[in-house]
Amino acid sequence: MTSTDSATTDIIVLTGGTIVDGTGRPGFRADLAIRGERIVAIGENLTGDTMIDVSGLVVAPGFIDIHTHYDAQVFWDPAMTPSCFHGVTTVVAGNCGFSIAPTRASDRDLIAHTMEKVEDMDPDTLKTGIPWDFESFPEYLDSIRKRGTVLNYAAYIGHTPLRLFVMGAEAVGREATDEEIDEMAGLVGQAMEAGAAGFASSFAVTHRGADGQPIPSRWAGRREIEALCKAVGDSGRGVIGVNGGDNLSLADCYELQPRVGAPITFTALLTTAQGFHLKAVETHRAGIETGADVWPQVSCRPLAFSQTMVEPFTLNTNPVFAELMPRSLDERRAAYSDPEWRQRVRTAWDNKQGLIPRWDSYEVMESTASPELIGQRISVIAERLGTDPFDTLLDLALLEHDLQLRFKAMVANDDEAGVEKLLQVDRTTLGLSDAGAHVGQLCDAVAATDLLGKWVRDKKVLTLETAIHKLTKVQADLFSFTDRGELREGAFADVVVFDPTTVGPGPVRRVRDFPANGERLTADQPTGMVHTFVNGQAIVRDGNLVESALTDRPGHLVSPAPR
């Protein structure tokens, strides 16, 4: 099931392309030769058994996406679509502490419904698609290794399942005891020994579980957080992934990192209407001057969620909305109709609880009852009707069958001038594609092609060489992925070929191709993406997925090398 099994001594040569090798140095014209899993030569006039003309195209290292949620999808979709179509050859899953191991059999439904609330994953899809032939994290990695993958795959052990595994139902509601902390730290160490990418957690206000309560990791105290992070540091390898919040802020990370001894990557540095990102950049610059090894993630994508009032992800951050998360559709409808309930919501927002909606960024996407409103902003509709925007949204939703008004809500990163500045901040890394998560709400797996098209070619915010460096070697070096992220002799042949004049993310479409007829958004037709190789085997050729790759599964289960 691995590329080693099907490796050949035949030599593949990509001829006439512009090599952008991932180091950041200027691109140059050369041929590139692949034999088996490795690059064997870069130079002029190379010859081989298979010659592929890539004149006029860029030849670069495969892109490394360090912020994905493919923990479950990897089982039924080893190509991890649509990432494979966008030049991604290596993914890191388990972000925000939402791995699916360790998990006891008795907690599988709870994990599925937690993923439903925080990552918009269908519990029926998870129940059908996950084989559940594992309990511990090492067993989870073994299950993936046994089946094989098309892309290279790495995964964090996550804080939420770890807490549930050790504390059971009390994972929500209290801090851990010293004995529980020691047990969790031991499991992190076990995971690191088995090949985990590191440990990840979330303290984000957006993350509430199936019961509407903050997810388990948000109940952790500082002793617990530090002990679990130190378990990564003590292993001598791996990375700590933090989705920040009240328990652990960006500023806290610069103070914590030197004590725990492993690099931290922080989600995320995004533009906000309030300008919080400007202060965050100052915090980052001051922190790295102390020598702290902290890498905030930045994104070129606006953070916007498509949602309905059945599961309004961004509004559920308000504790009054959160009370409805475990309730029935009829109970939710009754609350939306109640003026007193509406006032309780407003009072919570007045008290700075949850994300405060920017009504001028809320837009109607789908409506059966009021199709003439599609594409209009809620604030504009409310002004025309002489009503409050919040009341307007609820009233429109109540007109729909089963509250199925679909709207888009912008959360952050829609200030293009601000994004331009963030993309150029030193010692940051690209992240937050969230590929594999929020599958019905957004599709930001296109981040790499969006960066290369909009921000490199069109807006010239980054040079091509700098952008590819950020997509490849920066990520590989952060995670110590040996022989990846760079085109050189002896490196693994993770290679992407694209047309810099046409590269772009392509259209997003809604499909039902997941287990149990699950629905998702996908973007499998980017422009300008020509060929992709993983460990020397073509997985995308002329923009199309290579069927043999699904059988051969050339991807590796990758682990950080010792620091």
DSSP-derived pairing of the beta strands 152-158 and 198-202: parallel
Q: What sign does the CA torsion over 320, 325, 326, 328 have?
A: positive
Q: What is the pLDDT of residue 45?
A: 97
Mean pLDDT, to the nearest integer, of 315-337?
96
Q: Which amino acid is at 270?
A: L
- Rounded distance, CA 96 to CA 114, Å? 13
- Rounded distance, CA 514 to CA 189, Å? 34
Other C-beta atoms closer than 10 Å to the C-beta of 376 total: 15
**Helix boundaries (H) for 168-221:** 178-194
Q: Which amino acid is at 65?
A: D
Q: What is the pLDDT of residues 401-428, one digit of tens each?
A: 999 999 999 999 999 999 999 999 999 9
Task: Kindly state the percentage of the chain with pLDDT values over 70.
Answer: 99
Q: What is the pLDDT of residues 277-300, one digit of tens each?
A: 999 999 999 999 999 999 999 999
The domains of the chain are located at: 61-302+413-552, 305-411
Q: What is the pLDDT of residue 4?
A: 41
Q: What is the pLDDT of residues 26-84, one digit of tens each?
A: 999 999 999 999 999 999 999 999 999 999 999 999 999 999 999 999 999 999 999 99
Q: How confident is the model at residue 248 (pLDDT cuts 50, 70, 90)?
A: very high
- Rounded distance, CA 249 to CA 244, Å? 5
CATH architecture, domain defined by 61-302+413-552: Alpha-Beta Barrel (3.20)
Mean pLDDT, to the nearest integer, of 517-523?
97
Mean pLDDT, to the nearest integer, of 485-513?
98
Judge contact between 186 and 199, C-beta under 8 A: no
Judge contact between 472 and 64, C-beta under 8 A: yes
Q: What is the pLDDT of residues 219-231, one digit of tens each?
A: 999 999 999 999 9
Q: Which amino acid is at 253?
A: C
Other C-beta atoms closer than 10 Å to the C-beta of 227 total: 19
* DSSP states of 2-15: -HHHH--S-EEEEE
pTM score, whole prediction: 0.96
Give per-residue burial for 101-119: e unless 16+ CB within 10 Å, then b: bbbeeebbebbbbbbbbbb
Write down the mean pLDDT value for the chain: 96
Instruction: Kindly report the backbone phi and psi dihedral angles of residue 64, in degrees, each rounded to the nearest multiple of 5, phi listed first.
Output: -115, 115
Q: What is the pLDDT of residue 160?
A: 98
- Rounded distance, CA 284 to CA 348, Å? 31
Statement: residue 517 has pLDDT above 60:
yes
Cis peptide before 507 (omega within 30 of 0): no
And the tokens for 409?
A: 């809500």
Mean pLDDT, to the nearest integer, of 309-337?
96
Statement: residue 5 has pLDDT above 90:
no
Q: What is the pLDDT of residues 113-133, one digit of tens each?
A: 999 999 999 999 999 999 999
- Rounded distance, CA 313 to CA 207, Å? 9
Q: How confident is the model at residue 9 (pLDDT cuts 50, 70, 90)?
A: confident
Under DSSP, the state recorded for 423 is H
Q: What is the pLDDT of residues 137-178, one digit of tens each?
A: 999 999 999 999 999 999 999 999 999 999 999 999 999 999
Q: What is the pLDDT of residues 21-39, one digit of tens each?
A: 999 999 999 999 999 999 9
Beta-bridge partners for 88: 63
What are the Cα distances from residue 323, in Å, to 205, 210, 336, 345?
14, 10, 12, 11
Q: What is the pLDDT of residue 210?
A: 87
And the tokens for 27?
A: 């691109």
Q: Which residues contact 154 (CB under 8 A, 6 or more apart)?
A: 90, 91, 92, 93, 197, 479, 481, 557, 558, 559, 560
Judge contact between 139 and 457, C-beta under 8 A: no
Q: What is the pLDDT of residue 1?
A: 35
User: SS3 for 66?
Assistant: coil
Q: What is the pLDDT of residue 8?
A: 53
Q: What is the pLDDT of residues 339-383, one digit of tens each?
A: 999 999 999 999 999 999 999 999 999 999 999 999 999 999 999
- Choose between 4 and 371: higher pLDDT: 371
And the tokens for 211?
A: 């019961």
